[in-house]
């Protein structure tokens, strides 16, 4: 339905959305004994899908950390989660800007303006 660029932006936004959900779950369970933090990875899969020209098929994988950071056998590192949230927010902003730029160009083309 969309071109490769738009599909890539939408796939990236889906991956970032899933990452935000997992980060929120991690933060909510930072004090839960035995909790294993999840981490979402999609960038490598998206890059591979882009090389194939099918970014809409990029997979979003959630993996759980084997690293224990406290005596309760919990693997949530709040500093990592918070800095990751900031980085992801910047990436979401960039993806929104790319999507808005693309749709703005399409609107101008449809309206027949330059």
| pLDDT category of residue 52 using cuts at 50, 70 and 90 | very high
> For a pLDDT cut of 90, what percent of the chain falls above it?
69
| pLDDT category of residue 1 using cuts at 50, 70 and 90 | low
What is the distance between the alpha carbons of residues 86 and 82, in angstroms, rounded to a whole number?
7
Q: For residue 9, what pLDDT is reported?
A: 93
Q: For residue 105, what pLDDT is reported?
A: 86
What is the distance between the alpha carbons of residues 40 and 1, in angstroms, rounded to a whole number?
26
10 Å Cβ neighbour count for 78? 11
Cβ atoms of 9 and 95 closer than 8 Å:
yes
What is the distance between the alpha carbons of residues 75 and 77, in angstroms, rounded to a whole number?
6
Instruction: Report the predicted TM-score, pTM, of the whole model to 2 decimal places.
Output: 0.84
> For a pLDDT cut of 70, what percent of the chain falls above it?
97
Q: For residue 64, what pLDDT is reported?
A: 86
Q: For residue 113, what pLDDT is reported?
A: 62
For residue 2, the SS3 value is coil
What is the chain's mean pLDDT, rounded? 90
Taking the CA atoms of the chain, what radius of gyration do you get in angstroms? 18
Q: What is the pLDDT of residues 76-112, one digit of tens each?
A: 999 999 999 999 999 999 999 999 998 898 888 888 8
């Amino acid at each position: 339905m969309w071109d490769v660029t738009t599909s890539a932006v939408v796939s990236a936004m889906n991956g970032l959305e899933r990452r935000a959900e997992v980060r929120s779950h991690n933060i909510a369970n930072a004090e839960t004994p035995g909790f294993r933090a999840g981490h979402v990875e999609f960038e490598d899969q998206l890059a591979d899908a882009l090389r194939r020209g099918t970014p809409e098929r990029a997979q979003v994988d959630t993996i759980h950390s084997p690293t224990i950071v406290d005596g309760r056998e919990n693997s949530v590192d709040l500093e990592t989660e918070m800095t990751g949230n900031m980085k992801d927010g910047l990436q979401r902003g960039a993806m929104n800007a790319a999507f808005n730029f693309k749709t703005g160009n399409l609107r101008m083309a449809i309206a027949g303006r330059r």
